[in-house]
Amino acid sequence: MAVRLDTPVQFLKGVGPRRAESFAKVGVLTVEDLLYHTPHRYLDATSITPAARATVGSDVTLVGRIVSKAVMPTRTRLRIFRAILRDASGVIECVWPGQAFLDRVIEPGQLVLVTGPVRHYHGRQIAPREYVILEEAAETNAADDPQGVVLPVYPATEGLSHRIIRRVIADNLDAMVAVVDDVLPPAIRQAAGVLPLRDAFLRLHRPPAGDADGGWEGGRRRLAFDELFDLQLVVARARHLAKHARRGAKFENRRALTTALKDALPFTLTTGQKRAVREITADMTSVTRMHRLLMGDVGVGKTVVGLFAMMLAVENDFQAVLMAPTELLAEQHGRTLTGLLAPLGIVPDLLLGRFAAGEKDAVRARIASGASRVIVGTHALIQETTAFHRLGLVVIDEQHRFGVEQRAALIEKGDAPDVLLLSATPIPRTLALTLYGDLDITTLTDRPMGRPPVRTAVRSSRQRAKLYQFLRDRCEAGAQAYIVYPIIDESELLDLKAATRMAEELAKSLAPATVGLVHGRMKADDREGVMRAFRDGAVQVLVATTVIEVGIDVPNASVMVIEHPERFGLAQLHQLRGRVGRGAEESHCILLTDAVQAAARLRQFAQTTDGFTIAEMDLAERGMGELAGVRQSGGLVLAYTDFSKDDDLIRIARSEARRVLDRDPGLTSPDLVPVRKRIERRYERGVELFRVG
């Protein structure tokens, strides 16, 4: 059959119905999906070194068969996976310290490619930075001989190895590329200096050997520009519509409740907080709607800034609402606002899903009548049964935890209210402008006085007994601690400590301290019950996965222990560290790891407390990584953009998008209709945004 972009992948050579099911697990359903399923890394096998010529001190790539393997214990209890690799010239030992789990992955008879430095330790050995299984012991595929080529390595899944994906793409690439239509107007492509789309796919899936830029880089930049250009069209259009939508709230800076709040605060605002309040006040009193993101590190006082905006709305006889992603965080905000607003005679209303029906009905009646002027809640605020009397301001905390539809559902409860989004995830400015181009951005950086920095240290498992004694001593003195693990249950594939198993061990090791456990598979009510017990002091040590990354503020918690920190991004480590250091006591963050290769990276993190600096480090190290996850925008995925390399593409995409929209706001001209259709497929809001000319 003739191949088209929408042809199901099962009809391609080498696939079939059963393998198509495996492709579906990685999001590949059609020919077009397969073209966009690009390698996540490449191995340059154009200069393979024979094992016999691998000299100590050199960095080499070797290919050979595994002839034996073993897990070797050491006196320090560090387990080392060791394998002997043989090629036509001889043998060499490969060692992976602290990665005993590879014993369940690497088997004798496999053809393996390894890359890394050669050192001398009881003979020559290579410590691979990476490895790729090119062929299983039972396979004999001459097509997988990597000599003289650049090997693409694809994202894979169980039952669908990168070798199978590589073979399917190689067998079908020419036919697939032949049916590609380039929807980007030539003038824009030339302005960006990127390849035609067909050439880009060929570069990505069949990278030429010997190119100075690796061959594939030009292909990646083309796909990166496409997604950046589409994104800038979306955010610029959304910004225009949000700013010029019918204005429902007219605010005047009457300085009644805002001045009273300032005088009643038990602390002095930081310079950054004062600047943020001025910017938000200017927005709210302007002729266009406010649509602003307030971004800051953990503990810089974003909630107080948001409260000033809420008081400006209330003194203009409007209602102000604050929505949080979890009931625990909403309760926390409710207590904070109740304390700060008590001198003003304002009592916030709290609306949570767990409330009894009668209690929710009573709160909703007060909201609908206008008796409630300040409202705090969770998703219960966006239910159809919740109606507002005169909603003027919407504040959404941890806004990235909500999808676009959830945010829109709350905003649509009012008549075009002003919107303030809060985020405790610091992200670099370039990334912020790309992801949040439809918002004005205020950044808070200076921390309130009286909060000492968290002391961070890197420790190995040899110091575990000493650490446990430290935890017992701190708990006996009345403090509390978190211990975070990367996984919930033990796995045969991962040689990692798990939260459930360690919670049982720690209950014995840390006795008489009380130990609680929370993780993402627990029922929400059970999980929040344990977190409330920790907040209230009934639990002294909280064993957790990253569910505690956001949403719990316990000033008495002064110790954070993170097991296997090498498994987390730096930005995520910083978010976890932000759970302590919220009181006046000195706090500690202890990174417990035996991963030697991660030591330098973790020490660098330990010496840095600024979230924006750490975000820059994380961006340089991991590319988009988890930072892209700070925005759930109904389909936004920046899969190809490298923010450490693509600053020029970001600027060009932004300027070209503005130029295009100035000429054709609805993307209705023949040369732009294909671009609009691509946006409508890529973004859930695409149809809505470009419906109006």
For 22-44, how does the pLDDT look when each residue is reduced to its tens digit (9 = 90+)? 999 999 999 999 999 999 888 77
Is 51 inside a domain boundary?
yes
Residue 635 has what pLDDT? 42
Residues 317 and 439 in one domain: yes
- pLDDT tens string 283-299: 999 988 888 889 887 77
Last residue of a domain, one of 422, 444, 466: 444
Is 179 inside a domain boundary?
no
Is 275 inside a domain boundary?
yes
Q: What distance in Å separates the CA atoms of residue 472 and residue 511, rounded to the nearest whole number? A: 8
Is 613 inside a domain boundary?
no
Residues 309 and 407 in one domain: yes
Q: What distance in Å separates the CA atoms of residue 468 and residue 543, rounded to the nearest whole number? A: 13
Q: What distance in Å separates the CA atoms of residue 335 and residue 519, rounded to the nearest whole number? A: 25
pLDDT grade, residue 684 (50/70/90)? Answer: low
Q: Which CATH number belongs to the domain containing residue 597 in this structure?
A: 3.40.50.300
pLDDT grade, residue 642 (50/70/90)? Answer: confident
Q: What distance in Å separates the CA atoms of residue 575 and residue 401, rounded to the nearest whole number? A: 14
148: left (phi over 0), alpha (psi -120 to 50) or beta: left
Mean pLDDT of all residues in 95-115? 90
Residues 472 and 595 in one domain: yes
191-205, 230-244, 586-600: which is most confident: 191-205
Is 27 inside a domain boundary?
no
Residue 692 has what pLDDT? 54
| Residue of 307, 329, 320, 326 whose CA lies nearest to 349 | 320
Mean pLDDT of all residues in 682-693? 68
Last residue of a domain, one of 390, 424, 444: 444
Residue 529 has what pLDDT? 87
In this predicted structure, the answer to whether residue 143 has a pLDDT above a threshold of 60 is no
Residue 585 has what pLDDT? 81
Residues 460 and 596 in one domain: yes
Q: Are strands 557-563 and 150-153 parallel, antiparallel or unpaired?
A: unpaired
Residues 434 and 467 in one domain: no
Mean pLDDT of all residues in 476-482? 93
Higher pLDDT, 590 or 625: 590
Residue 9 has what pLDDT? 95
In this predicted structure, the answer to whether residue 431 has a pLDDT above a threshold of 80 is no
Residue 279 has what pLDDT? 95
Residues 222 and 299 in one domain: no
Mean pLDDT of all residues in 332-354? 93
Residue 208 has what pLDDT? 80
Last residue of a domain, one of 147, 164, 199: 147
Residue 30 has what pLDDT? 95
Q: Which CATH number belongs to the domain containing residue 75 in this structure?
A: 2.40.50.140
Mean pLDDT of all residues in 242-248? 66
Is 41 inside a domain boundary?
no
Residues 229 and 366 in one domain: no
**Number of domain units in the chain:** 4
- pLDDT tens string 536-554: 999 999 998 877 755 567 8
Residues 131 and 217 in one domain: no
* Cis check: omega of the bond before 146, within 30 degrees of 0: no
Express as a percent the part of the chain with pLDDT over 90: 47
Mean pLDDT of all residues in 375-400? 86
Q: Can you list the positions of beta strands (E) in 249-296? A: 291-296
pLDDT grade, residue 407 (50/70/90)? Answer: low
Average pLDDT, the chain: 85
Is 565 inside a domain boundary?
yes
In this predicted structure, the answer to whether residue 492 has a pLDDT above a threshold of 60 is no
Residues 436 and 505 in one domain: no
pLDDT grade, residue 625 (50/70/90)? Answer: very low
Residues 372 and 503 in one domain: no
Is 225 inside a domain boundary?
yes
Residue 622 has what pLDDT? 60
The domain of 70 spans 47-147
Residues 281 and 215 in one domain: no
Residues 404 and 470 in one domain: no
